[in-house]
Amino acid sequence: MHDFRFVGNKLFCEGVSVGSLAKKFGTPLYVYSQHTLTDHFQKLDRALAPLDHLVCFAMKSNSNLSVLRVLANLGSGFDIVSAGELQRVIAAGGDPCKCVFAGVGKTVAEIEFALKAGVYSFNVESEPELQRINQVAAKLKKIAPIAVRINPNVAAKTHAKITTGTYENKFGIAFEEIEGVYARAAKLKNLRLRGVQMHIGSQITETTPFELAVKKVLPLVTRLKAKYALEFFSIGGGLGIVYDPMLASGDPAWWQTAAAKNILTPQKYADRLMPLLKPPGLKILLEPGRFISGNAGILVTRVEYVKRTGKKNFVIVDAAMNDLIRPAFYDAYHEIVPLTKKGGATLKSDVVGPICESSDSFCKDRPLPKVGEGDHLALLSAGAYGFVMASTYNARPLAAEVLVNGKKFAVCRERQPVKEIWAGEKVVAWLK
Ligand code: LLP
């Protein structure tokens, strides 16, 4: 469960009224709960305590330096996908030795940087990449630790745009080819075969796909361990979260409710997977992003206009698809609540941003309390793949971000000054 709840009729993040943050820092504004981040990390970490394991937060979901620092302080490692992300880990005080470097397109410069920084493992997605890492390591007179990403060809029952573990996807190496790849990799002198990795997709809300994938690859993993003295098996991330109305239910015993209903919880995940994962005796890595950060953040926005047309009630807000692209991109559902609870009838509304695109919409025909100019709304569960996917489309500056801890709060990213949007640009000489 998360730490955004109504106290009286006001939405609070932990001990701070979200309305007061909107007033102080303006909107659009991302607000993160440190306690929720901590709680989610620890729930997973503790559920897996009987296993030798390392949780590597998938920082692509939220890479704010303060968020990373919260997790680094809890002992988290990081799943990174670029040299930029590794630099963020270092800037946040995280440990490169607890980083796994994934991604299908690692450049020579990125491999060099990660090798020098001493990452725990490169999660390799193709044979040409193995060759490249070996060459770069030879040039630097280093041994590169690697794991090959197995594509288990298991359907993850999630949105097509976030499925990764089938042969339709560009990720990993086909299950059937893995042993041959390890045999060839073992001949490359500057590689150390340290582990094996897989990831089947994102926002998976049942344990069964994880279980099926683990069961499918386990005999292979056990053979590889015996042959190459592997040290770890990363089972990737992908644990789904609840996006559907949570605040509406106001249920404080959410974890118990979730356990009773068919909702994925860390305990269920651990209970089903640990018996499978223990016997091979490998260190188990996890790469959860959304599970830790998703429900730990909200996007706060102000109503600019309410526009009624013959058919529709448009609530036009000051946040847009450039701030939170998930609804436009994946048809994703984000619960929307006013910061001040309103009684009375609801009205079917479309909450839309000011961008000149029809897809700049956060919801369609959703029953919402009647709101007017100057009211504030919160889009919930926006802590993962929210700010990190933001752009400056329509020359809209990147939003500010605030971290809350109990009754304390602080800006963890200033609102982008508008001129910074074009700071790297120039009018070329021949135009002057
Ligand atoms: N490990 C690997 C290799 C991944 O590719 C991903 C996510 C993760 C871990 C973390 O997955 P998570 O635990 O957060 O589900 N932008 C999309 C999600 C893209 C996920 C990409 N890979 C969204 O907003 O739903």
131 falls within a domain:
yes
CA-nearest residue, atom 6 of ligand 1: 237
Atom 9 of ligand 1, residue of closest alpha carbon: 237
Whether the Cβ atoms of residue 111 and residue 122 lie closer than 8 Å to each other: yes
303 and 281 within one domain: no
Q: Is residue 1 part of a domain?
A: no
* C-alpha of residue 42 to centroid of ligand 1, in Å: 20
Select from 61, 164, 391 the residue to mutate for testing ligand 1; criterion: most ligand atoms less than 8 Å from CB: 61
Tell me, yes or no, whether 370 and 261 share the same domain. no
Of 286, 312, 328, the one marking the end of a domain is 286
Question: Are 115 and 259 part of one and the same domain?
Answer: yes
Claim to verify: residue 135 and residue 263 sit in the same structural domain? yes
Q: Which of the listed residues 40, 148, 202, 326 should we mutate to test ligand 1's pocket, taking the one with most ligand atoms within 8 A of CB?
A: 202
* 304, 280: one domain: no
What pLDDT digit, counting tens, does each position of 387-430 carry?
999 999 999 999 999 999 999 999 999 999 999 999 999 999 99
- Residue 81 placed within a domain: no
User: Of 266, 286, 306, which residue is a domain's last?
Assistant: 286
Q: Are residues 227 and 367 in the same domain?
A: no
Active-site positions read 356
Pair (170, 206) in one structural domain: yes
CATH label of the domain that carries residue 192 = 3.20.20.10
**Structural domain harbouring 246:** 103-286
Secondary structure class of 391 (helix, strand, coil): coil
Q: Is residue 113 part of a domain?
A: yes
Which residue ranges have their beta carbon within 6 Å of ligand 1?
A: 58, 61, 79, 102, 162, 164, 199, 202-203, 236-239, 287-291, 326, 330, 384-385
CA atoms of 42 and 39, how far apart (whole Å): 5
Contact 292, 40 (CB under 8 A): yes
**Residue 62 main-chain phi, psi, to 5 deg:** -165, 115
Domain count for the chain, please give it: 2
Handedness of CA 214, 217, 223, 224 (dihedral sign): negative
Q: Which atom of ligand 1 is nearest to the CA of 203?
A: 15
How far is 100 from 209, CA to CA, in rounded Å?
A: 23
Of the candidates 229, 261, 286, which is a domain's last residue?
286
DSSP bridge partners of 54: 285
Q: Is 59 among the domain residues?
A: no
Contacts of 411 (CB under 8 A, 6+ apart): 25, 400, 401, 402
Using the mean position of ligand 1's atoms as its centre, give its distance from the Cα of residue 51 in Å: 23
CATH of the domain at 325: 2.40.37.10
State the distance from the centre of ligand 1 to the C-alpha of 164, rounded, in angstroms. Answer: 9
d(CA 94, CA 205): 29
> Would you give the distance in Å from CA 70 to the centre of its chain?
15
The reply to whether 212 and 333 lie within a common domain is: no
- Phi-psi category of 136—alpha, beta or left, where left has phi over 0 and alpha has psi -120 to 50? alpha
Please name the residue that has the structure tokens 């929307």. 336
Q: How far separated are the first and last CA of the chain, in Å rounded?
A: 57
Residue 3 within any structural domain of the chain: no
> 384 CA to middle of ligand 1, Å?
9
Q: Are residues 305 and 254 in the same domain?
A: no
Name residues whose C-beta falls within 8 Å of residue 219's C-beta, 6 or more positions apart in sequence: none
Identify whether residues 315 and 263 lie together within a single domain: no
Beta strands in 210-269 (DSSP E): 232-234
Same domain, 270 and 313: no
- Residues 179, 328 share a domain: no
Q: Is residue 271 part of a domain?
A: yes
Whole-number Å distance, alpha carbon 236 to ligand 1 midpoint, is 9
Atom of ligand 1 nearest to the CA of 236: 1
- Predicted local distance difference test score (pLDDT) of residue 165: 63
CA-294 nearest atom, ligand 1: 14
> What are the tokens at 11?
């939405």
Which atom of ligand 1 is nearest to 240's Cα?
15
Strands 376-379, 336-338: pairing kind: antiparallel
Cα 158 to averaged position of ligand 1 atoms, centre (Å): 12
**Secondary structure of 95-145 in HEC code, one letter for each residue:** CHHHEEECCCCCCHHHHHHHHHHCCCEEEECCHHHHHHHHHHHHHCCCCEE
Residues of the chain with pLDDT under 50: 249
The Cα 348–Cα 336 span in angstroms is 13
- Report if residue 136 sits inside a domain: yes
287 CA closest ligand 1 atom index: 9
- Rg of the chain's alpha carbons, rounded to an integer? 23
